[in-house]
Structure 1
Amino acid sequence: MNQVAKRSDVSKEHQWKLEDLFADQQAWDREYQEVKDLLKKVEPYQGKLNEPHAIKECFALEDEISVHTERLYVYANMKHHEDTAEPSFQALSEKSRKLSVEVSEALSFVTPEILSLSEAKLKELMENPDLSFYKRTLEEMIRQKPHVLSKSEEALLAQVGNLSQAPGTIFGMLNNADMKFPKIKNEEGKEVELTHGSYIQFLESKDRDVRRNAFEAVYATYAKQKNTIGATLSANISKNIFYAKARKYPSVLEMSLYGDNIPKEVYTNLIDTIHESLPLLQRYMNLRKKLLKVDELHMYDLFAPLVEEFKWDINYQQATEMVQDSLKPLGDDYLKVLQSGFENGWIDIYENEGKRSGAYSWGAYGTHPYVLLNHKDNLNSMFTLAHEMGHALHSYLSDENQEYRYAQYTIFLAEVASTLNEALLMDYLLKKTTDPKAKMYLLTYYADQFRTTVFRQTMFAEFEKITHERAEAGDSLTPQELSKIYYDLNLLYHGKGMVVDKDIEMEWARIPHFYNSFYVYKYATGFSAATSFAKQILDEGQPAVDRYLGFLKSGGSDYSINILQRAGVDMSSPEPIKQAMSVFKSLIEQMEDLTK
């Protein structure tokens, strides 16, 4: 086992250049002081936001403060992530967090004060030429106005805020701190502890007994807590209904979609189109059964490897070259920026002692984005590189083409650019690979992404829709009822060709996303939108590339659904999901050919 390097031993060429953000600590301290001074200018605007001149000045000041605060916060936290054990950067990170809170508090009066104006006054402001740049901000405020309450009601709702987090907090404590799983035997027959972290590893075991034992042990443990977890999930749904009624929304689903201005059809189309495509998922299940050489396919076989672990050594240099080659369809302009990212200190490449785990893309307006990796020389790390650079180029092109206020894209759009890069890399590798074993490995890797990101997340989304609708209709959600709804969905999705084990009825009890309601559908829509873009780019070439680059440059300058629509992906229609399903179908066909 290689010793993990200390941060001080990592060569400069493998580190990101944070000095592009701040030359040194003194520069950070100066900008910190600048924000403190700017905050003193905010107070005089309070009570004055009823005429164009004051609103314009206040918005400009808000943007100036926000840009600096973001820069300070991003730098401090990225320094902290280089080595989380380093106390001076822990302190810097904390200092930047406190400043962010202070800034939020200082500016918190702006929106409510403008919203307290009459609708006629707001419309008059919106038409004022001096405020033309802020027209979209004012439009959005007017759109939100029917759901904003009086000052005293808003204050009351704010106080309920801490209470409203209780179901999620209690579930988190029970799930992460108190839940203890039994020991099970591993492949060598040794008794080992089953944990949240090791569960998926056991499900990926080649040994079927290990998979089954882990599966049964996990759900038996949850079944013992079903009344408590049922009560927390039910309380979370009740809390959502309370907020929807208080804010005058017709339903919790519509309240959840309102923030991003997403039509309800996006949600219902996703579920309906996936229902039509269930025969494809079931065909993949049959193929899985054949490849695993089992008489019956069980729920605990869904993560089992279909091909012998394929060793694919790809060092970082090779990974950057392959990613660049695979993204050639996006054109020279895109590749130039990508190359600049690889060559000019955007990326922190390798693991070191104390470095934050995982990978992300982050940055602050006015400076190029940054990417944190913990690169290993394998296929997964190459896909991670393509994914994070997708985020980075989306941010870069948005920042280059939009003013600060309109540069930030929404979560609804966030995974499109990253997943598109992975889709193009996958297409490139499948076309280039001649070794049938390598090809099968890639096909199963990709097919499983469809299964977990599109089908599984849509099933979760449907579970949320059914449970909320039942509660809104006045039905009580007992643990037995929750289990029945969940089990029936599994039967519907996986079909009669496999055994849907009874234990799976408790899976709803271990999904933390259910406490962040109506969020998971974005995984499925984002993946479908990206797959649709990739298909259009590969089929049509330049016109599709131009539309896609237009999407990357749009940031948050319009509602997400409009930005996608202009680029040729209409998420309010079933078309993008159907296009994604046609890609999934072709993967299954290629796998079937290889198994003949």
Structure 2
Amino acid sequence: MKTVKQLPLRSEIPSDLTWDLTLVFPSDADFEAAFKQAELANQKIKQIAGTLGQSASSLKTGIDQVLALYRQVDKLSAYASMKNDQDTTNSHYQAYQAQVETLIAAVNAATAFLEPEILAIAPQYLKQLEQDPLLQDYQHFLDMITINRRHILDQERESLLAAAGDVLDNSSNIFNILDNSDLKFPNVTDENGQEYQLSAGIYDTLLESPDVTVRYQAFTNFYQVYGQFKNTFAATLAGEVKKNNYLAQVHHYDSAKDQALAENYIAPQVYDTLITEVNQHLDLLHQYVALRRRVLNLPQLHMYDLYVPLVAKPDCDYTFNTAKEIVQNALAVFGTDYLSHVEEIFTGRYIDVMENQGKVSGAYSGGCYDSAPYELLNWQNNLDNVYTLAHETGHSVHSWYTRHYQPYMYGDYPIFLAEIASTTNENILTEYLLQTQTDPKVRAYVLNYYLDSFKGTVYRQTQFAQFEHYIHQSAAQGQALTADFMSDYYGKLNAHYYGPAVINDPQIAWEWTRIPHFYMDYYVYQYATGFAAASYLAKQIVTQQPQAITKYLNYLKAGNSNYPLNIMQEAGIDMTKGEYLKTAFATFAQRLNELKTLLKQ
């Protein structure tokens, strides 16, 4: 009788493969004491409401007290969430997590006066206050609050909109429930005769099957379910678009896109340039998918054939220790200072390595301003996990520099900048592997990995962004966002992106029904800009361009001390212009040609 291998219990994981959270709080008792202190501080915080505009000193004191409370809560949240994530079956830390979530809600409510009160200060008087030496370091903090002043309504109307938040989010909530809970998928059988009930995760796995029949069945069965509910999904997405357009209109923006980008201090040209440049380089994607058809030896290439690997995974066993050595060697290009922080992360028990029962899936870099930059992994001995280690270490070193070079108010970084650091590390690792690996199978796998990542991030996410903008514009012009209208446009857009080498299967026109990012208000474009910027920066570094590393480290140190586009400008990229994208496409073309050559061999 076969025995089923079970995941180890948390208690069975060697301590050197777990993160050391005593560096955050030495004990649970210390956490509980800090929690009580934060509760007391929150009860007192309202005492400063109404005082911020009295003087420069009052404004500084008020901001400092609010930020100090946020800082306390951040530390509590980091400890509780990481303790819970390491074993979600532990009710003790489930309770900690729930308590912190309740505290966060209370703190947000108690400190809600901060921004409206600052905005209530007359602009000329606020400018006068900012000249005081006490507020010298606070000018960008205040500017981030006031820069969009003309788009902020009076307190009564903003309060009404805030109170309607649950109603306005109803479309998104309905989509999540329908997509995650109510859809029922049929069973499918893989190439080994194993039967599975379809789900989003199983679907992605089956699309990588070497058996075209398995891929076809997964694709058609999956989209049959979504197609049955396309009218309901159209109603939820139309409601989300109407909400975004309405909020943009009442806040005096020209479009929902302008409002979404302004909230993150991003110029509309960044979005427009991305879509223009990607459309001008679709020929490279067409070449890549045509290569896929030839390599897979298919008479026709369908949308369900785009995810099966072109190259088998190399038969290499990458242990965690081996992976650390590879990543350190690759990242040595950044210099000794950067590498010293990688070493600290790898040796200081900042990483929770192994999978165990109850541990959350996936990987992330976490912690807070007052903690180490921790990483959670679920290690498997393969090359994909080596890339994951490089990726999360990119986030962690970014966090280390930001937290050590910026005060708390600027000690984080926006999502627009976050993925650039992690993906730069992936690009650096790819370059290192291509320089050091002579085995053609390994080189081909690395190239295929890079090209698929580029396809899935730069091309696919830009396609999503183009669709998202089209439906917002259409709705603003009075067009009803019916399922047929959106499917017709999406199907044509998909055919435009993938070109004549791919059969534009009719089911793909329904893909918009299942994309949760369409409910996140102009979010997806950042994946594409981040990947392309990382590709550009990595090329500057590995080719040893003058000051490239210094500029890159300054970007990592900047945190939130300047606007994202200004930080990237100082790092060497004008993201309102297309040069960085053209450089990324040139790298894609070079690696595509190398893969073609290797596969001929």
TMscore range, shorter length: over 0.9
Structure 1 residue matching 2:503: 3-state secondary structure = coil
Q: Tell me the distance in 1 between the aligned counterparts of 2:488 and 2:235.
A: 16
Q: Tell me the distance in 2 between the aligned counterparts of 1:181 and 1:286.
A: 31
Does the 8 A contact of 2:444 with 2:599 survive in 1? no
Structure 2 residue matching 1:184: 3-state secondary structure = strand
> Which stretch has the larger CA shift, 388-397 or 532-541?
532-541
Partner of 2:130: 126
Q: Tell me the distance in 1 between the aligned counterparts of 2:43 and 2:193.
A: 67
Structure 2 residue matching 1:221: 3-state secondary structure = helix
Does the 8 A contact of 1:329 with 1:541 survive in 2? no
Length-normalised TM-score, structure 1 = 0.98
User: In the TM superposition, what is the alpha-carbon distance from 1:365 to its structure 2 partner?
Assistant: 1.1
> Which stretch has the larger CA shift, 190-199 or 148-157?
190-199
Partner of 2:183: 179
User: Cα distance 1:151–1:419, how it changes in 2: closer, same or farther (>3 A)?
Assistant: same
User: In the TM superposition, what is the alpha-carbon distance from 1:461 to its structure 2 partner?
Assistant: 0.2
User: Cα distance 1:272–1:29, how it changes in 2: closer, same or farther (>3 A)?
Assistant: same
Does the 8 A contact of 2:300 with 2:503 survive in 1? yes
Partner of 1:117: 121
User: In the TM superposition, what is the alpha-carbon distance from 1:284 to its structure 2 partner?
Assistant: 0.5
2:49 equivalent to 1:46: yes
Match 1:299 to one of 292, 300, 303: 303
Structure 2 residue matching 1:294: 3-state secondary structure = coil
Q: Tell me the distance in 2 between the aligned counterparts of 1:97 and 1:363.
A: 16
2:13 equivalent to 1:10: yes
Q: Tell me the distance in 1 between the aligned counterparts of 2:470 and 2:384.
A: 36
2:599 equivalent to 1:595: yes
Partner of 1:564: 568
User: In the TM superposition, what is the alpha-carbon distance from 1:541 to its structure 2 partner?
Assistant: 4.7
Q: Tell me the distance in 2 between the aligned counterparts of 1:321 and 1:541.
A: 26
Structure 2 residue matching 1:310: 3-state secondary structure = coil
Q: Deviations over 1:361-413 (max 9, x none)?
A: 11121322111111111111111111111100000000010000011100101
Structure-to-structure mapping, 1:18-417, within 5 angstroms:
18-51=21-54, 52-189=56-193, 192-417=196-421
Q: Tell me the distance in 2 between the aligned counterparts of 1:267 and 1:217.
A: 35
User: In the TM superposition, what is the alpha-carbon distance from 1:498 to its structure 2 partner?
Assistant: 2.3
Partner of 1:472: 476
Q: Tell me the distance in 2 between the aligned counterparts of 1:299 and 1:398.
A: 42
Partner of 2:555: 551
Q: Deviations over 1:192-237 (max 9, x none)?
A: 4222221111111111111112111222222211111111111111
Q: Tell me the distance in 1 between the aligned counterparts of 2:8 and 2:192.
A: 32
Structure-to-structure mapping, 1:433-582, within 5 angstroms:
433-541=437-545, 543-582=547-586
Q: Tell me the distance in 2 between the aligned counterparts of 1:301 and 1:40.
A: 58
Q: Tell me the distance in 1 between the aligned counterparts of 2:9 and 2:478.
A: 58
Q: Deviations over 1:68-97 (max 9, x none)?
A: 111111111111112111111111111122
User: In the TM superposition, what is the alpha-carbon distance from 1:180 to its structure 2 partner?
Assistant: 1.6
Q: Which runs of 5 or more structure 2 residues have no equivalent in the other structure?
A: none
User: Cα distance 1:353–1:185, how it changes in 2: closer, same or farther (>3 A)?
Assistant: closer
Q: Tell me the distance in 2 between the aligned counterparts of 1:400 and 1:589.
A: 42
User: In the TM superposition, what is the alpha-carbon distance from 1:41 to its structure 2 partner?
Assistant: 3.4
Q: Tell me the distance in 2 between the aligned counterparts of 1:45 and 1:53.
A: 12
Q: Tell me the distance in 2 between the aligned counterparts of 1:28 and 1:565.
A: 41
Q: Tell me the distance in 2 between the aligned counterparts of 1:164 and 1:62.
A: 28
Root-mean-square deviation (CA, aligned residues, Å) is 1.4
User: In the TM superposition, what is the alpha-carbon distance from 1:144 to its structure 2 partner?
Assistant: 2.4
Structure 2 residue matching 1:42: 3-state secondary structure = helix
1:278 alignment partner AA: L
1:458 alignment partner AA: T
Q: Tell me the distance in 2 between the aligned counterparts of 1:542 and 1:328.
A: 17
1:370 alignment partner AA: Y
Q: Deviations over 1:142-187 (max 9, x none)?
A: 2121122112111210121001111111111211212122233432
1:497 alignment partner AA: A
Does the 8 A contact of 1:346 with 1:368 survive in 2? yes
Q: Deviations over 1:239-291 (max 9, x none)?
A: 11111111111100000101111010100000000011100000101111111
1:83 alignment partner AA: D
Q: Tell me the distance in 2 between the aligned counterparts of 1:197 and 1:316.
A: 25
1:102 alignment partner AA: A
User: In the TM superposition, what is the alpha-carbon distance from 1:303 to its structure 2 partner?
Assistant: 0.6
> Which stretch has the larger CA shift, 528-537 or 152-161?
152-161
Q: Tell me the distance in 2 between the aligned counterparts of 1:497 and 1:442.
A: 24
2:188 alignment partner AA: I
Q: Tell me the distance in 2 between the aligned counterparts of 1:419 and 1:383.
A: 10
User: In the TM superposition, what is the alpha-carbon distance from 1:534 to its structure 2 partner?
Assistant: 0.2
Q: Tell me the distance in 2 between the aligned counterparts of 1:188 and 1:21.
A: 47
Structure 2 residue matching 1:480: 3-state secondary structure = helix
Q: Tell me the distance in 2 between the aligned counterparts of 1:413 and 1:511.
A: 23
Q: Tell me the distance in 2 between the aligned counterparts of 1:566 and 1:397.
A: 16
Q: Deviations over 1:84-133 (max 9, x none)?
A: 11111111111122121221111111111121122222222222322112
User: In the TM superposition, what is the alpha-carbon distance from 1:311 to its structure 2 partner?
Assistant: 2.5
Q: Which runs of 5 or more structure 1 residues have no equivalent in the other structure?
A: none
User: In the TM superposition, what is the alpha-carbon distance from 1:580 to its structure 2 partner?
Assistant: 0.9
1:561 alignment partner AA: L
> Which stretch has the larger CA shift, 161-170 or 191-200?
191-200
User: In the TM superposition, what is the alpha-carbon distance from 1:528 to its structure 2 partner?
Assistant: 0.7
Q: Tell me the distance in 1 between the aligned counterparts of 2:184 and 2:177.
A: 12
User: Cα distance 1:7–1:191, how it changes in 2: closer, same or farther (>3 A)?
Assistant: closer
Q: Tell me the distance in 2 between the aligned counterparts of 1:309 and 1:331.
A: 31
Q: Tell me the distance in 1 between the aligned counterparts of 2:198 and 2:369.
A: 44
User: In the TM superposition, what is the alpha-carbon distance from 1:37 to its structure 2 partner?
Assistant: 2.8
Length-normalised TM-score, structure 2 = 0.97
2:459 alignment partner AA: F
